[in-house]
Structure 1
Amino acid sequence: MKYAALFDLDGVLADSHHAFLSTIAGFATFHLGRRVTVADLPPHASITPRDGVLAALGATGPLNEEGWDAATATATLTARVFPYVMPVLTELRAAGWATGIVTARTQRRVPWLLGPEVRALIDVIVCSDDAPLKPDPGGVLLALDRLGVSADRAVFVGDMRSDVLAGQAAGAVTVGAGWGFTPPEQLTDAGADLVLNDPGQLTPTLLQWADTGMPTGNRKRS
């Protein structure tokens, strides 16, 4: 009996909140030709699509991906993987769980956040160049297909409303990461089956579900 734990990347596995804001500010500085700092960004910039944030700053037109990559590569040097990640992934794999990531980042950019020691504990990584962006469930479904795990034996851990909606639409149990970009109450309002503020509770919660039966909660079945 195989189970799968899928994770969003930014804000869930990687403490990249400030790095994400720095990426936007750095790119806007490059694009606009004037200094833009994190303090200059509009409210809720960390949970707003990048095009919307850049437009609010006056950066319009096609996005220069090379410029974005340069800003991202520099900013992510300040990001760190959360301390819980290695122990949780190690324990889940020891218990026979498959692990995966579904992220809006591209395959090129994931290694800028995750070192090889973390990637070695991940069985599949689905990025924006592999499947549609969340809340479309395509990325979650692709990850499960590659893992050979059915949605009713899968958990998707995310910190955005789009994560919750994608997991629900795929038929997986959804766990809100209350330590991420979005306040816990907003993840509850989005319909997450469970919201955790302490990532240390992930492993015991998931292993208990595997023993007692996965909750059905707010899941939408196709």
Structure 2
Amino acid sequence: MILRAMSVKQQQAPTALIFDFDGTIADTFSEALRLFNRLAPVYGYKQLLPDDLPRARNMTTKEFIRSYDIPRMKIPSLIREGRRIIGKRIIEIKPIAGMPEVLCALRPQVKILGIVTSNAKSNVEAFLAKENLEFFDFISSVSKLGGKSKNLKAVMKTFTLEANEVVYVGDEYRDLLAANKAGVGSVGVCWGFNKHHVLAKQQPDYLFQDPKELLQLISTSEDASVDHA
């Protein structure tokens, strides 16, 4: 089922389709949860217990940081350490079910296919090589938690793109916030961390429940029209 957000900024197939990595392409949820709890005593924040998961997935990024007492000044260091540890286990991480096939179908239909991620570029490259998905035009790694909008703008400048030619696909509230700040189209995917009603707060162009629905993006707006849910 496709859930259509109320506002539709994107009316044509995108020239550039850009993906988040963790939770959107790669199924890193279990590994990220294990890592988050492992580092909690080191960085002085609360652990995320299994019973708290449903509530946590219904939080925006700011709400999550506040609820788990994550020190903002330590977030850059936490991200760096998380990248390092994830890198050691990247061989164990699987893709989201159905995503490799969808990405392979999208590749010949989209002029520019890229990734903007908070993960390390080397980790993403290792994962893509393992899964035979080494056909992305670029991988842009973000050093700050809220820095994705700047990277999206940099991508537009590098490839001489207008905002209405770009769509960013992500599974978290902060991904869609970044897309809105950059002025580009956005797709929220409901198979990652945040639940669909949290993603809907940023009014993305589409909310998708299944990876195959991403193929709607390479159809015309008329062909891809769907009902509100």
TM-score in terms of structure 2 length: 0.71
Q: Distance in 2 between matches of 1:175 and 1:112?
A: 25
Corresponding residue for 1:127?
141
Picking from 102, 111, 130, the partner of 2:116 is: 102
TM-score in terms of structure 1 length: 0.73
Kept in 2, the 8 Å contact 1:16–1:76? The answer is no
CA gap 1:117/1:65 in 2 versus in 1, 3 angstroms:
closer
CA gap 1:88/1:65 in 2 versus in 1, 3 angstroms:
closer
Picking from 19, 23, 36, the partner of 2:31 is: 19
Corresponding residue for 1:200?
212
Matched to 1:208, the amino acid is S
**Which runs of 4 or more aligned residues in structure 1 lie more than 6 Å from their structure 2 counterparts after TM superposition?**
none
Aligned length in residues: 205
- What's the RMSD between the two structures over aligned residues? 3.8
Unpaired runs of at least 5, structure 1:
216-222
Kept in 1, the 8 Å contact 2:163–2:184? The answer is yes
Q: Distance in 2 between matches of 1:199 and 1:26?
A: 30
Matched to 1:21, the amino acid is L
Q: Distance in 2 between matches of 1:6 and 1:187?
A: 17
Matches within 5 A, 1:156-171: 156-171=168-183
Corresponding residue for 1:219?
none
Deviation at 1:109, TM superposition (A): 3.1
CA gap 1:118/1:183 in 2 versus in 1, 3 angstroms:
farther
Matches within 5 A, 1:53-202: 56=69, 63=77, 68-115=82-129, 117-129=131-143, 133-134=145-146, 137-202=149-214
- Mean Cα displacement is larger for which, 100-109 or 69-78? 69-78
Corresponding residue for 2:5?
none
Kept in 1, the 8 Å contact 2:14–2:218? The answer is no
Q: Distance in 1 between matches of 2:60 and 2:94?
A: 19
CA gap 1:167/1:111 in 2 versus in 1, 3 angstroms:
same
CA gap 1:135/1:107 in 2 versus in 1, 3 angstroms:
closer
- Structure number with the bigger relative contact order (C-alpha 8 A, sep ≥ 6) is 2
Q: CA deviation digits over 1:184-221, x for unaligned, max 9? A: 11111221111010110111x11123x75999xxxxxx
